Chains A and B, each alone.
Chain A
């Protein structure tokens, strides 16, 4: 991209920004970074350009790069929830691609800024994560890379199991007094009671050194920052697609550009077959609201994927979008149901809690063993993963850790002991 290209891009961005604002979008100030594929993929793999180093990010990075090199998939942009909002654009994008992308990321930026789930996320996470990375680097120098890596291997296993930031902080779990459960129920958001497993381990684990506690606290902050993104995938992509379509329609595109744009857009919203394309479904739901701007803006402010689907995925939409329920039957994926309510409910169940199982701290046993409970909602846990993961949690806790869940409709307790993970029925 030479100076002239850059000026053309800047002019386009000015027009697109004006248009977005005339439609009512209120994005953060924007920082567009034009960068090579490797950087875009690094940001994609780490979730943030400044995040700490760990082999698992390297693994994700390699996978993305291979897919890019072999033409299997291509990310054109990545956008970071921050103020100013960083958008990373691939340096091989054409001007037309960049126009669509700028319109798209402006809507993401507006979503980050105005959706309630994001209202208390730190907006300086780019800088904070850089500080965290530096701190973890110093721990590596002090305690050895392998020691820190092995601790990160343990800590990352549980890191998702914390609570999203909310305007109302959940009440911290108080420590169990001797035996039984130590749960306090008088929290303002009882649905989150005990769900901050990371926070509990952080405060109460007898096995952690100060530096380990510090790392765990940093991971917790990072995950809390990422959580709202897990909860609003369909909405956020739908919103960005809804607006890039409207903005691009208003741009004076040449006939060639219009055809090119139509192609790109149809690629973005291609149905995915066995799963949901969030761009397509989100777009369809927003479009079904009619051209009442107040209504769509209110939805983008207040809903998460779960309520978005529950409230706005109608019979018409299920029919028109050709949604269905499928099941594996003898090695084949077979369409099993087209009833719109069951389609909706199945989809909601996939999106509950960001698609992750909910674990809660159920207290400690008399011997100081940690008792976790999987809040079973009909979908079983992956047992192979569970056994491995529980072993890692045991290392964080320093004593045996139990996890109660349901397997084949029976309550089962898994216990991670020094000699491995075993299970026994609970009833």
Chain B
């Protein structure tokens, strides 16, 4: 009997992309799962409060492959030692589980998640996919400048330098086939195809966010955190759209002053609230530092709406003036309990599509507010 035959081969496997393709499909499913959770992610502390980190572990609805399988966790199992193991020896620890008794894992909330890694970039791509800059007013047109050209169309006439060789050849093949020839044997002028371009316009100027926040005693940790989440994403989105984005932090109670980001989100002051003080300071900054001719101005105000009644009329007047300079303005009222304020009522009467009012009752409202602030059409929520 001869030796069992064998062969050794070393093929070119570069086209074997099976694993990579399905890996990509799995990632797409993960992205889909993240997309479904965007509303939660917007207020995810590990992202908003991170400093410098770019990759986050985020819990997403699991892409677990469910099977009928045993619950081994509480069962006796067999192990194997290096020798001399005795009853009572500890051979390891249980992997820590995110809450819930192992036995009731199926009923415990939150266990249904598994973590995946996502970069901030990836998250922004998903989040910003459907956002647009709010209505731009006619006077802003002047800062629309030609940014670049993009080849977007194919025509039969054009410059030789812009000849689209692939399409030309395809056209020749088609014609030759129509004329009953299998191969391309000639090229006629009519086959030629040229690329043509469009001018893509992009705002050339800077944007400034006038971030205003009520820091009076009634604004608690939750209210401030909602504001922080909102501004975090707002600035990131604007950075993608404009060459330069600045943010000015205006903290106010009865008086307003410009503060650092640190102070803006941490400091609390006691006393009453006069929102008009913030709007006044915002107008001042516009006049002194951010001329509307070169800046797209986005004033945005977070408050709990607990304003001095006598101040409301003045607020309306100032908001109307701010609107004249602004690309869009937003007012968000964080309502942890109770109902919308008188100030909100008053502002609602202003007839301006670029003033957008939001009531923030829970974390998911931050996402909704962002999404509807960054749309072309006016939406009031």
Contacts and interface: CB of A to CB of B under 8 A. Distances in A.
B247 to A, nearest CB: 38
B70 A53 contact: no
B90 A333 contact: yes
A30 B6 contact: yes
A30 B4 contact: yes
A58 interface: yes
Interface stretch (B8-16, B173-181, B230-238, B307-315): B8-16
Contacts of A281: 80
A356 B69 contact: yes
Interface stretch (A9-17, A182-190, A202-210, A363-371): A9-17
A62 interface: yes
A29 B4 contact: yes
Contacts, number: 246
A58 B80 contact: no
Interface in B83-128: 83-94, 105-107, 111-112
A335 to B, nearest CB: 4
A335 B91 contact: yes
Q: Per DSSP, are chain A's interface residues mostly helix, strand or loop, or mixed? A: mixed
Contacts of B107: 383
Interface string B52-72: 000000000001111111111
A61 B94 contact: no
Interface stretch (A154-162, A211-219, A254-262): A154-162
Interface string B140-179: 0000000000000000000000000000000000000000
Interface in A240-289: 271-277, 280-281
Given A61-B23, A274-B91, 18 more contacts: A21-B4, A28-B4, A32-B6, A35-B10, A39-B13, A39-B16, A58-B21, A59-B65, A274-B79, A323-B79, A324-B80, A324-B81, A326-B91, A328-B74, A332-B90, A333-B91, A383-B105, A383-B107
A335 B85 contact: yes
B3 interface: yes
Interface string A79-106: 0000010000001000000000000000
B80 A321 contact: yes
Contacts of A61: 19-20, 22-23
A381 B79 contact: no
A331 interface: yes
A388 interface: yes
Interface stretch (B24-32, B218-226, B342-350): B24-32
Interface residues of B, number: 61
Contacts of A387: 106
Contact of B69 (A54, A323, A335, A382): A382
Interface of A: 1, 6, 9-10, 13-14, 17-18, 21, 26-36, 38-39, 41-42, 45-46, 49, 53-59, 61-62, 65, 84, 91, 156-158, 160-161, 271-277, 280-281, 321-328, 331-338, 343, 346-347, 350, 355-357, 359, 374, 379-389, 392
Contacts of A334: 88-91
Contacts of B138: none
Contact of A27 (B4, B75, B84, B86): B4
Contacts of A45: 19
Contacts of B6: 13, 17, 29-32
B129 interface: no
A380 to B, nearest CB: 5
A389 B8 contact: no
A56 B13 CA distance: 22
A8 to B, nearest CB: 11
Nearest to B25: A55
Contacts of A335: 79, 85-91
Of B10, B74, B88, most buried by chain A (CB within 10 Å of CB) is B10
A18 to B, nearest CB: 6
B78 interface: yes
A359 B83 CA distance: 38
A287 to B, nearest CB: 15
A54 B22 contact: yes
Contacts of A157: 65-68
A54 B26 CA distance: 8
B73 interface: yes
Given A322-B85, A324-B85, A389-B68, A276 B80 contact: yes
A228 B5 CA distance: 25
